Amino acid sequence: MSIAAPVSPRLLPIVIALGVSQIIGYGTVFYGYPIFAPTMARDLGVEEALVFGLLSAGLLISGLAGPWLGRTMDRLGAARVMAVGSVLSALLLVCMAAAPEIWSFALAVLALLTISPTVFYSAAFVAAAAASPTQARRLITNITLIAGFSSSLFWPLSGFLLEAIGWRWALVLYAFANILIGLPLHLLVARLTGPVAIRTPKVGETHATPLESRARRRTFWLVSLSYGLSALPASAMAVHIVPVFQSLGLGSTAYLISMLFGPAQVIARLVDSIFWRGFHPLVTALIAFGSIAICMGILVLPLPPIVAALAFSVFFGIGQGLTSIVIGTLPLALFGHDGYGEIVGRIGLVRLMFSSGAPLLLSIMLASIGIVPAFAILFVVALFGVIPLLILLREHGWRG
């Protein structure tokens, strides 16, 4: 931890608690879903596309709720909101497990994804900024270093539990994980950070970054556009990575190769924290979104399936690993700490407007036009996501 991005001993328990809670949040709410989805669809008597469509719809609704949740975290404290999120996540996972038919299942899924930002990075980063505005970038980096193993743990774990006890009982176990692990950790962070550490700015106050109102709006839309265009292909593949690898003829090896995604995330974050600490977060964002474009292009090339899958997993891990950091650090660098939760929520809303339908879109494209044309389209979209960053880099420079 200290090698990556040293933080004061007082803040170390907060970093560890939030990092572990993110493993639980993402693993139980997001990473298990695509593994269970085919069996869920079969047991509920619906098309697989509908199950993925619920994921897309739920993510969009969560984006709409993002600004309100951000303001709530600014006002009440993010850790307290996260504690409530752990309880609600557990309750809704049990509702999903107990759902006898598609309508009750759909309501539970949509409700779960609506409150999911309360146990995801957006809330953890607000809690980190509340704990120490001056060390927020270091805290965020260290949190993502721990949380980067969520996919590597929960993709194979979900596959094992699906075969061993079925998806319904697996969701019950995931509900217990939120209550027995996530909830105590969030309560601990709430006790250590205090009630409210980030204020919503009052009328007439200035933000930490001296940007004029028009300039702030322009910067906001450039950042949001870049996030959105890059999130579309990334979100699509985050859900479909194992099924796509299996369609390449890799079978059960797809699970093993996809596990490289997690370590690649962590290594990328370590490199960023050690070697790129002096650079502006825009540089990290450029590397992140560029890596996402590269990995989409890899699946267009005529490579042996195992080579393509290995290369994809590494670059996808780099892209997603660094994206997780810049989601928190870039708004801090450009807009300052005041009203940080709401700004993150607003950017997240735009990002999710682009990405919420991506899993369903990729599912349709794979079925209708095949892997190569589908990923050629995603490659072009990802490239366009880099352009706004180049504009901002020209204005703000490379150094942080």
Q: What is the pLDDT of residues 98-113, one digit of tens each?
A: 999 999 999 999 999 9
**Residue 69 confidence (pLDDT):** 84
How many Cα atoms are found within 13 Å in the side-chain-facing hemisphere of 249? 5
pTM of the complete model: 0.77
Tell me the three state secondary structure of residue 253. Answer: helix
Cα separation, 337 vs 35, in Å, equals 38
User: What is the signed CA dihedral for 304, 307, 310, 314, rounded to 10 degrees?
Assistant: -120
The pLDDT assigned to 5 comes to 56
pLDDT at 165: 96
The length of the chain is 400
The two structure tokens encoding residue 82: 């996260």
The one-character DSSP state at 34 is H
Which range, 46-60, 158-172, 352-366, 386-400, is most confident? Answer: 158-172
Task: Give the pLDDT confidence score for residue 24 in this predicted structure.
Answer: 96
In angstroms, rounded to a whole number, what is the distance separating the alpha carbons of residues 15 and 321? 17
Confidence of residue 1 (pLDDT cuts 50, 70, 90): very low
CA distance 348 to 326: 12
The phi, psi pair for 350, rounded to 5°, reads -60, -45
* β-bridge mates for residue 357, sequence order: none
For residue 200, the model assigns a pLDDT of: 45
**Rounded mean pLDDT of the chain?**
86
Please, which residues have CB within 8 angstroms of residue 327's CB and are 6 or more apart in sequence?
Answer: 121, 122, 125, 227, 344, 347, 348
Residues 2-29: tens digit of each pLDDT: 445 566 778 889 999 999 999 999 999 9
pLDDT at 236: 86
CB atoms within 10 A of CB 252: 9
Predicted local distance difference test score (pLDDT) of residue 210: 36
Indicate the range of 78-87, 224-233, 355-364 predicted with least confidence. Answer: 355-364
CA distance 347 to 344: 5
Cβ count within 10 A of residue 249: 11
Cross-strand pairs, 279: 399
Percent pLDDT > 90 in the chain is: 42
Using an 8 Å Cβ cutoff, are 136 and 205 in contact? no
**What pLDDT, on the 0 to 100 scale, is given for residue 260?**
79
CATH T-level fold of 12-196+208-396: Growth Hormone; Chain: A; (1.20.1250)
* Helical ranges in 299-339 per DSSP H: 305-335
pLDDT tens-place string over residues 56-67: 888 888 888 888
pLDDT in tens, 142-163: 898 888 788 778 988 999 999 9
pLDDT score of 206 more than 50: no
Indicate if the pLDDT at residue 203 is higher than 70: no
pLDDT digits (tens, 9 = 90+) for 228-269: 999 999 988 877 777 888 888 887 777 777 777 778 888 888
Whether the Cβ atoms of residue 116 and residue 69 lie closer than 8 Å to each other = no
pLDDT digits 0-9 by tens, 286-328: 999 999 999 999 989 988 988 988 899 899 999 988 998 898 8
Q: How far is CA 297 from CA 149, 372, 373, in A?
A: 25, 9, 11
pLDDT of residue 7: 65
